[in-house]
Amino acid sequence: MRRRTLLRALGLAAGAGTLGTPASAAPLPWADFDRQVRAEFARERLVGAAVAIVSADRVLHRLTLGHTDPGRRTPISPRTHFLVASTTKSMSSLLAATYVDEGVIGWDQRAVDAWSGFRAPTPELTRTLRVRDLLGMGTGIGEPAALSTLHEGFPTAEQLLQQVVNLPVEAPPETRWIYNNTVYATGGYLPLLASGVRPADVAAAWVNAIRTRVFAPAGMTTSTIADDPRGVVADYSRGNGVDIFGGTNVLPYGPVGSYAPAGGTLSTLDDMASYVRLQLRRGRSVTGRRVVSAANLAECWRPHVDVPIDPVLDPDGVAQGYGMGWIRERFTDGTSLVWHNGAIDGFTAYVGFLPERDLGLVVLNNLNPEPTGLFLYLYVLNLILSSRFGLNEGVPPKVSAAAARARETLTAKGPTTRPVDPRRVGPWLGYYEGGYLLALDRSRLVLALQSRRFDLRWVRGETYLMADGLVPGATVLLRRDPDGTPTLAVAGVETVRREVGPN
């Protein structure tokens, strides 16, 4: 769900036989494909992953790798549940498209006309933003780093809707791509609000709608909305992360809460394969059921605000832009790729498809996006593009090298740290604004925020590093305000004051 992980990915840009696409493309034998992906999985020191390549009419190939946790207790299967994070955005736009089909809302309808309670940061934006704009990352409205990185699980849906008015305006509409989960979640709720659902009830109504209008008819038989799969499904993966010493640890499940329309889906390889096939089948599910009209589904893919391309790791990309829950890229040969990724504590996900080639891809893994979780799907995608279509040739080894550098950059920080001195940090222990708790667990200094826990290591003076968690290697500063109140700063995110000292 995090904006910076999608930006970084942009900068990196069960069958047998060969891929069922045009004869002019070079074949890719599955045995060779599996060998290369397994080798990359090992190079990146991943824990578990699942890959599917599909066409409209079938699953062409599946590959599962590794285990659900570092203890290697349970192998990954096509039915193992992963948190798929921001790939949920395209499901929210598909849900909205079903309401457009019914005439409840319109893509170009003003949001305030669909729901009179909508308020944007300025009167002009309140008057002019359309339904499609809220799902399109082109509103010009920004989102504070603290909110997009660490605080999405806090507000109720009603509070989320109310806080849009307080977001910063960074650019005129349709002039700059600005990733915004708060605005997107608001757009996800809009069809329900337009149907008369009260803001206090909209979160539960949205969950019911996504299950009955998207998951069930799309053949996503075991997908659901959940922050934590325990007690919800039997076959699930733990999320894992790399720490600053290179160790791999199980991470707590990250909170999503009312931001579910922007990233709350729990799904499997088989279900996500069915979802991508629905795209290739132009809105018809794998069972033949019409889920959404082809026209309104295609409208979700249509880009309307430019998204940058990395010329080094995406050399054959000509242009790309954000549609509604999808990014559409065009290559030098005219082929287009429609895609989105997802990233949350301990998990990374990717879905994409080449509509002209009748080919789709799902890559799920249970490793934190930072530092290396994003690289496997980039490797697999570019392996297919280069081996099958002659696009982005030479990129897979560059992705491997980038993954190695990212890991080395993080693990180089470990030796620069030391265990904390409990006497030194004692004056800073306690509860801080924003829900933070700084506490000692035996001799370890732990920063807790909802379900998240970050071990802190001392560097020098007032400087500490997060040793693990969602943002390993992030700097934390323990200081005092001019009035002497202890403060805690997560560098580049936010600074908070202590409210209550230790018991």
pLDDT tens-digit readout, 15-33: 333 333 443 444 468 999 9
Model confidence band, residue 5 (pLDDT cutoffs 50, 70, 90):
low
Distances from the Cα of 228 to the Cα of 3, 157, 199, 249, 296, angstroms: 21, 18, 24, 17, 32
Give the per-residue pLDDT at 501.
87
Give the per-residue pLDDT at 20.
38
Measure the CA–CA gap between 396 and 310, rounded to whole angstroms: 14
Model confidence band, residue 71 (pLDDT cutoffs 50, 70, 90):
confident
pLDDT tens-digit readout, 403-428: 999 999 999 999 999 999 999 999 99
Amino acid at 483: D
pLDDT tens-digit readout, 446-475: 999 999 999 999 999 999 999 999 999 999
For the ranges 27-41, 345-359, 360-374, the lowest mean pLDDT is seen at: 27-41
Measure the CA–CA gap between 398 and 310, rounded to whole angstroms: 12
Measure the CA–CA gap between 496 and 370, rounded to whole angstroms: 24
Q: What is the mean pLDDT of residues 356-380?
A: 97
Contact 46, 30 (CB under 8 A): no
pLDDT tens-digit readout, 188-238: 999 999 999 999 999 999 999 999 999 999 999 999 999 999 999 999 999
Find where tokens 């329309």 sit. Answer: 261
The model carries a pTM of 0.94
Distances from the Cα of 426 to the Cα of 165, 239, 328, 500, 501, angstroms: 39, 31, 51, 13, 10
Q: Is the pLDDT of residue 443 over 80?
A: yes
